[in-house]
Structures are given as structure tokens and as C-alpha cells.
A and B are shown apart, each in its own frame.
Chain A
Amino acid sequence: MLYALLCYNSEEVVCGWSQEEDDAVMAKLGVVHDRLAKAGKLGPSLRLMPTTAATTLVKDSDPPLVIDGPYAETKEQLLGFYVIDCEDLEEALGVARDLAKANPGGAYEIRPVRLFLPGVGAGSE
């Protein structure tokens, strides 16, 4: 089963990290990433720019409205996600726990994936 691991954390905190702090967290996460990749469990994963860089197309009007900023104003923001291949929820939770040890604070939402399009072209440059 594929699971999406949605990474939520306070953007104010994460964007406030110094380069050294950021590097340290990424290095710790990298260890977990490598382990997952070696086990063939790591799908496409990405880290998002801050919500200040976001634009939202609201579809409930015609024509749809373009607004600046993220869709939802939340205390913690969606900052990235992983796609992981796990036997069951228990295993997915284990991965989330490993990631949480490397990068505490915030939350991981674990959502089973219904449709997966691996995509071609984008990001290959």
C-alpha cells in the first residue's frame, strides 16, 4: 500500500532555522531517507517553499478566483510530503516515528494513496 506522509510544522519556526540548523535536520532526515530508499520504500518526496510563495485558485466561483497565499490558514502549514510504500499502517507509523525522531515538532498526517501517477518529465532537468 502506498501512503502519503504529509509534513506539517510551524513555518515560522522552520523558516527561522539558521542554515546550520537546517543542514543538521536535513542530514538526520537523510539517514532515514537512505534507509527507506535502500529498502525500496521511498517514492517521490518533496519539500515546499514557504506558504508566502503560494497562490490559490478557488474553484467555487466562475471564473475561478486567484488569491495570494495558501488555501488554509493554519497554525501549522503543509511543508512537504513523502510517498512511501508500506505493508500496513503500523509500518507507515514506524516510518513517521523515525522521521519524527530526526525532526521533532509539528505532525505527520498519514494518508493512504488512492491514485498514484508517477509522472514523467517534470523535475528531471
Chain B
Amino acid sequence: MSELAWIDAALTGARPQAMGALLRYFRDLDTAEEAFQEACLRAVRTWPQNGPPRDPTAWLVFVGRNAGVDAARRRSRQTELPPEELLSDLDDVEAPMVERLDGANYRDDVLRLLFICCHPDLPATQQIALALRIVSGLSVKQIARAFLVGDSAMEQRITRAKAKVGAAGTPFEAPGPEERAQRLAAVAAMLYLVFNEGYSAASAEPDRAALCDEAIRLGRLLLRLFPTEPEVMGLTALMLLQHSRAGARFAEDGSVVLLEEQDRSRWNDGMIAEGLALIDKAMRHRRPGPYQIQAAIAALHARAERPEETDWAEIDQLYAALERLAPSPVVTLNRAVAVSKTRGPAEALAMIEPLETRLSGYFHFHGLRGALLTQLGRAGEARAAFGQAIGLANTAAEAAHIRMHLDRLAADSVGR
């Protein structure tokens, strides 16, 4: 790895903690970002000569803090009298800084930085874009590419999101245990959104897949800060296990390869092993949660060397637990897949029919219904279900998959 690449990796790694500390200090997102930018510029200038500092994060916070204060001083000189309280802060900058960095502040700094991206007024896409910009430090161009929108549209989206966050005010006091737990839950959900934005890509797009890597990186970061939270272990495990299949999820022509048809030798063993280790750790706490259960389901798929070795009965049980913990029609729909394997398509169909009103606009509902009806030999109804599914397909790949089912049905009826 070249020197610049190494510095770049160090800056990226230090960013969440350094930005979090600068945000606490300046209490303003733009000022903190400018200060961090300036610190990075100086790092690129000085690190190659002087060598990287022993603690890059502390270095960036220290330099960023000075740069930010300098900038504020210059601005105030251009306008009016220097605000005394700002200047008086300069004296105490150096000594306590490094010490303070090691303290518990760190944890809440990073959590706060992540948490402000989860503002409930922000739609999911803006939460993701904001987190990628301010926490991960991706450029607007990179984010725009991942979302398949123009640079200026993404710039506007991020500016609007920042304005909303700024207007809402950021909670700077250290959170109590309950507040911290709520923030952690919101942040976990946001990280999973980032992950899914990458995971739901319709084909093997490297820009989108990079979002999965980024979400995993942030998951590990969160876990380092909160090492005893089983749900953070579960979330990180879930993302690792799902992403382990990235190399097998798309065919050469870009079409989706279903789990059962994937070449399992192309799954990433390292990610699977790490995911399994994290679930193993999480289970010891005996505090199950939705991420842990979903990770356990993903683990059962990962453990099966061939599709027919999949422990569907256990998966059925886990979905049942998930239904109790976090009931949703989509969970029941997923459970029905397991039920169709263990108890047959008729029972699975009976399970999903009551969901029709709530899932009538959901592609996968009609897709699964069509597949179950096909298995039951009810070709006419199956065709109708697949027809509805195709109208709701979100991507060309989804539509192509349904068309394949319809073609098979047509071939079967001709053959009969």
C-alpha cells in the first residue's frame, strides 16, 4: 500500500471519533466538518515528512480544534470585536485534550455523530446520505453514484438534511443510560438502512456494494464502543453473514441468483466465521433481539454447505420468535417460506393468505404466493399472482425472475 493510501485509510478510520469530538467542541456540524477538513489537509502535508503520529485521532482533533478556533478568530476579526469567551478557550486546548480523548466522552461523541443522522423527521434516504457524508466522509459524488442520482441533486438532499438537523438542535449533554440505549437502537437501525441500501442493489454495482462494507465497518466501530450489547453483535453478525454472499448473488449477466442456486464456494468464509463468532458471543447474554434472531437465521443458511442441508425447521422456529418480538407481515411472509419447506406449500399458503390486504402492494408477497400456487398445481391462480408481482417489481432483475416463472408455467401447460 502506498504511503498516501495508508494515510487515507488512517484518516478514514479516525474520522468518526475525530468528527464526533470536534462536533462536541464546536457544537456546529459545518464548523466541525471544516475543522476536520483542515486537519486532514495538514495531515497529508506533514505526515509523509514527519511520519504518522502515534495517535492519529488525537492529532486530528487537536489540529482540527486549533484550526477551527483560528478560523473563527479570523472571521470575527473581519466583522467585530473578538468574542472573549472563544479566545480564552485557546489556553486550555493542549493539555487536557489527549487525556480527554481517552475518556468515556469518545463513546458518546461517536454515538452523537451517528445519532444526529437518525433524526425522525428525515426520510430514510436522507438519513443514509447524511451518515455517509458526515460519519463516513464519502464525497457527495460518491454518494450520488451510489444512489444513482446527479451530484447537485444529492448535494441539495444533504444540505436540506443538514439544515433540518441544525434546526432541530443537537443534544450535547451526556446521555443517561435509557437515552443512550434509545440512541443506540436508532443508530443500529440507521446502520442497517445503510447496509440495505447497498445490499438491495439490483446488480453487482461496486459503488453500492461499498455501502455494505461501510455499514459493517461502522457496525464494528459501534461494537468496539459498546462491546457488551448483544444486539450490536447481532447487527454486525447479520450484516457480515448477508454480505458474505455478495460474490455469489449475481450471475455473469447481472441477473439475481437466488440463495438456493448460489455457488456456495463463492461465499466469503472469513465474513461467515466472524459472523458466527459474534452470534456465539451474543447468545451468551440471553437477551435475544430482532438483529440476533435475523443473524441466527442467516447463520443457518451460512452453515448449510448445500441448500438441502438447510435447517428449515430451526429457521421456522426463529421466525416464530421474531414474530413474537417484532411482529410484521413481512416476517410472517418469510416464515411461510420455511413452513413451505417443512410442512408443505398448502400450510404456507394458508399462512400468507390473511396478509393479502396488508401486503397487496408488496412484490415478494405475490411472488411467493405464485410460487406456492405453482407447487400446488393451481397454474391459473399462479399466473394471476405472478402477473401482479411483475407489475410491482422494483428492478428489472425482479421482473426477469418472475417472467422466468411465467415461462415455466407456460412450458408446463404446453407439455401437458
Q: Nearest Cβ distance between residue A75 and chain B, in whole angstroms?
A: 5
Q: Which of A35-43, A49-57, A87-95, A116-124 forms part of the interface with chain B? A: A49-57
Q: Which residues of A contact B186 (CB under 8 A)?
A: none
A68 touches B14 (CB 8 A): no
> In the complex, what's the smallest C-beta–C-beta distance from B269 to chain A, in angstroms?
12
The answer to whether A13 and B9 touch (CB under 8 A), given A51-B224, A52-B227, A55-B281, is yes
Q: Which residues of B contact A16 (CB under 8 A)?
A: 9, 12-13, 217
Bound Cα distance A34, B46 (Å): 35
User: Which residues from B are CB-within-8-Å of A25?
Assistant: 1
* Residue of A13, A18, A24 with most partner-chain B CB within 10 A: A13
> What CA separation (Å) do A30 and B227 show in the bound complex?
33
The answer for the CA separation of A51 and B220 in the assembled complex, in Å, is 9
Q: Say whether A21 faces chain B, with CB atoms less than 8 Å apart.
A: yes
Are B274's CB and A53's CB within 8 A? yes
From B6, B210, B223, B236, contact of A104 by CB (8 A): B6
Q: Which of B6, B233, B277 contacts A49 (CB 8 A)?
A: B277
Q: Which residues of B have CB within 8 Å of A109?
A: none
Chain A residue with the shortest CB-CB distance to B54: A75
If A12-B221, A18-B213, A105-B6 touch, does A49 touch B274 (CB 8 Å cutoff)?
A: yes
| B104 shortest CB reach to chain A, Å | 12
Nearest A residue to B232, CB-CB: A52
> Would you give the 0/1 interface string for B32-71, flagging 1 where the beta carbon is closer than 8 Å to chain A?
0000000000000000000010111000000000000000
Are A68 and B9 interface neighbours, CB within 8 A? Answer: no
Give the distance in Å from the alpha carbon of A87 to the alpha carbon of B370 in the complex.
Answer: 71
Instruction: State which size class the interface on A falls in.
Output: 20 to 34
- A1 lies within 8 A of chain B by Cβ: no
Beta-carbon contact of A13 and B13 below 8 Å: yes
Q: Which residues of A contact B287 (CB under 8 A)?
A: none
Q: Given A68-B281, A75-B54, check contact A15 B220 (CB 8 Å).
A: yes
Given A50-B274, A52-B227: A75 touches B55 (CB 8 Å cut-off): yes
CB distance from A79 to the nearest CB of B (A): 13
In the bound assembly, the distance between CA atoms of A55 and B280 in angstroms comes to 11
- Report whether over half of chain B's contact residues are helix, strand or loop; otherwise say mixed: helix
What is the minimal beta-carbon distance from A114 to any residue of chain B, in angstroms?
29
Cα–Cα distance between A55 and B228 once the two chains are bound (Å): 10
A69-B227, A105-B52 as given contacts; A53 in contact with B9, CB under 8 Å: no
Interfacial residues of chain A within 38-76, with CB under 8 A of chain B in the complex: 49-53, 55, 66-69, 75
Give the distance to chain A from B132, nearest Cβ to Cβ, in Å: 14
Neighbour of B1 across the interface among A12, A19, A21, A75, CB < 8 A: A21
Contacts of A69 in B (CB 8 A): 224, 227-228
A68 close to B228 (CB less than 8 A): yes
Q: Which of B1-18 contact A (CB under 8 A)?
A: 1, 3, 5-6, 9-10, 12-14
Q: Whole-angstrom distance between the alpha carbons of A18 and B278 in the complex?
A: 21
Please, how many angstroms separate the alpha-carbon atoms of A104 and B51 in the complex? 11
Which listed residue (A17, A19, A50, A75) contacts B9, Cβ 8 A? A17
Q: Tell me whether A53 and B55 are in contact in the complex, defined as CB-CB below 8 angstroms, given that A15-B220, A16-B9 are known contacts.
A: no
A82 to B5, CA, bound (A): 25
Q: Which of A17, A53, A105 contacts B278 (CB 8 A)?
A: A53
Write the chain B residue with the least CB distance to A17: B9
Q: Given the known inter-chain contacts A53-B274, A68-B228, please indicate yes or no for A105 contacting B10, CB distance below 8 A.
A: yes
Select B277's contact among A10, A12, A21, A53, beta carbons within 8 Å: A53
Nearest-Cβ distance from residue B392 to partner chain A, whole angstroms: 34
CA distance A67 to B217 in the complex (A): 22
Q: Could you say which residues of chain A place their CB within 8 Å of the CB of B10?
A: 10, 13, 105
Contact of A52 among B13, B220, B273 (CB under 8 A): B220
Q: Which residue of chain A lies nearest to B216 when distances are taken between CB atoms in the complex? A: A15
Contact A24 B13 (CB under 8 A): no
Asked whether A52 lies within 8 Å of B223 as measured between CB atoms, the reply is yes
Q: Which residue of A lies closest to B9 (CB)?
A: A13
Could you tell me if B236 and A49 are in contact, using CB atoms closer than 8 angstroms? no
- Which residues on the A side are within 8 Å of B284 (C-beta)? 66
Contact B5 A21 (CB under 8 A): yes
List the A side residues contacting B6 at CB < 8 Å: 13, 104-105
Question: In this complex, what residue of B is CB-closest to A55?
Answer: B281
Q: Which residue of A lies closest to B236 (CB)?
A: A52
Q: Do B9 and A21 touch (CB < 8 A)? A: yes
- Chain A residues with CB under 8 A of B223: 52
**Which B residues are in CB contact (< 8 Å) with A51?**
224
Chain B CB within 10 A, most for which of A16, A67, A104: A16
Q: Which 9 A-B pairs have the closest CB atoms?
A: A12-B13, A69-B227, A52-B223, A68-B227, A13-B13, A53-B277, A68-B228, A13-B9, A16-B13
Given contacts A16-B9, A69-B224, A104-B3, 5 further A-B contacts (CB under 8 A): A21-B9, A49-B274, A51-B224, A67-B228, A105-B6
Mind listing 8 A-B residue pairs with CB under 8 Å? A12-B14, A16-B9, A16-B217, A17-B9, A18-B213, A53-B274, A68-B281, A69-B227
